Amino acid sequence: MATAGKVIKCRAAVAWEPSAPLMMEEIEVAPPQEGEIRIKVVATGVCHTDLYHLFEGKNKQGFPTVLGHEGAGVVESVGPGVTDFKPGDKVIPLFISQCGECRFCKCPKTNLCDRNWTSNNHNIMSDPITRLTCRGQPILQFMGTSTFSEYTVMNQIAVAKIHDDAPLDRVCLLGCGIATGYGAAVNTAGVTPGSVCAVFGLGAVGLAAVMGCKNAGASRIFAVDINEKKFEKAKIFGATDFLNPKAYNKPISEVLAEMTNGGVDFSLECVGNTEVMRSALESCVKGWGVSVMVGWTDVKDFSARPIQLISGKTWKGSLFGGFKSKDSVPKLVKDYMSGKIKLDEFITHNMSLEQVNDAINLMKTGECIRSILNISK
């Protein structure tokens, strides 16, 4: 590659400050250093966590940044010491690393690698180290990734090599939303055959959770959203019942309890709202109900009455669906290619990188499931 070892100048959408539109800029992407890989990004989804950082978290220390963490691309060049990747390999950047050596990677109970940005930098949602600069300033790599850019640099512990025939403009969704919702159901909740489930929030994450419940053999899946336009899609992924909490003059947990003889076996919160997290817990049956927080928020405390847990319910959280990233993403790509999981049905819009602010608005107004930004060929 003619670009190997050199700084690459390319286009990226930079978030200079909270709550402001992203700006198309020319950025510089440094060559990969020891153990690093420079990736040409081909396509990326837009996830609500990008919007969270921009409009809800709004931590000033987390800017300027290049958002985007649901991408797929091709290796452009590799740094010293990289032996498992070569230019041309198809890859998915991972916002959760898997070094394979830390005590968390060695433990089968978790996917939280200790070398990830999440270890110390929840507030800025980035590692302070970045390979991106613009107008002489370092630009943070959001969630360690930055896929709203033509190129990015990742440590090899946070890159999954995937099948050569994988369509990058679809499998990019496995870099976040779909793996997250699907895994939250099959791994974290551990949905069992014949069970009754409820999924709160029917964006891509929630719909993927519905798909997970269905694939795990749930007999009844309640799809809960305040936007009824989402119900049609939820049906495609296997939901059997549809509830709009705004249509009832009592709490949705009471409605569900009446419809299910006491509550659901499993509930998944895929909104990022602490009130909905509470409601999802309250919707579970006593004795064995399990509720999983999947929605992302870190600006508010959550609360619930202790009796909810004293009565035998379990409240859990899930990051990236509990999947050990490097091991699991290539398998999920194969599951898509063999028809075991759906991806195409999540995609409602195809756009260019220049249209990123339009894609953000579509999500803000609830008009999309996933918009794919096609970044390069």
Q: Residues 6 or more apart from 357 whose CB is under 8 A from it?
A: 21, 22
Which entry of ligand NAD, Zn ion, none binds 224, CB below 5 to 8 A by partner kind? ligand NAD
Q: Which of 8, 10, 37, 49 binds Zn ion (CB under 5 A)?
A: 49
Residue closer to ligand NAD (CB basis): 11 or 58: 58
Which entry of Zn ion, ligand NAD, none binds 233, CB below 5 to 8 A by partner kind? none
What is the C-alpha separation between 24 and 191, in angstroms, rounded?
Answer: 43
What is the C-alpha separation between 375 and 24, in angstroms, rounded?
Answer: 13
Residue closer to ligand NAD (CB basis): 19 or 83: 19
Q: Is 146 in the site for Zn ion (CB under 5 A)?
A: no
Q: Which helix (H) or strand (E) holds 41?
A: strand 36-45
Neighbours of 300 (CB within 10 A): 11
Task: Give the residue at shortest CB distance from Zn ion.
Answer: 47
Residue closer to Zn ion (CB basis): 176 or 209: 176
Task: Give the residue at shortest CB distance from ligand NAD.
Answer: 203
Q: Is 47 in the site for Zn ion (CB under 5 A)?
A: yes
Site mask, Zn ion, residues 160-199, x = CB under 5 A?
----------------x-----------------------
Token pair in block for residue 246: 């705004």
DSSP string, 204-235: HHHHHHHHHHHHTT-SEEEEE-S-GGGHHHHH
Q: What is the β-pairing status of strands 137-142 and 126-134?
A: antiparallel
170 Cα distance to chain centroid: 14
Task: By CB under 6 A, name the binding residues for ligand NAD.
Answer: 47-49, 52, 176-177, 180, 200-206, 224-227, 230, 245, 270-273, 276, 294-296, 318-320, 363, 366
Q: Which residues bind Zn ion (CB under 5 A)?
A: 47, 49, 176
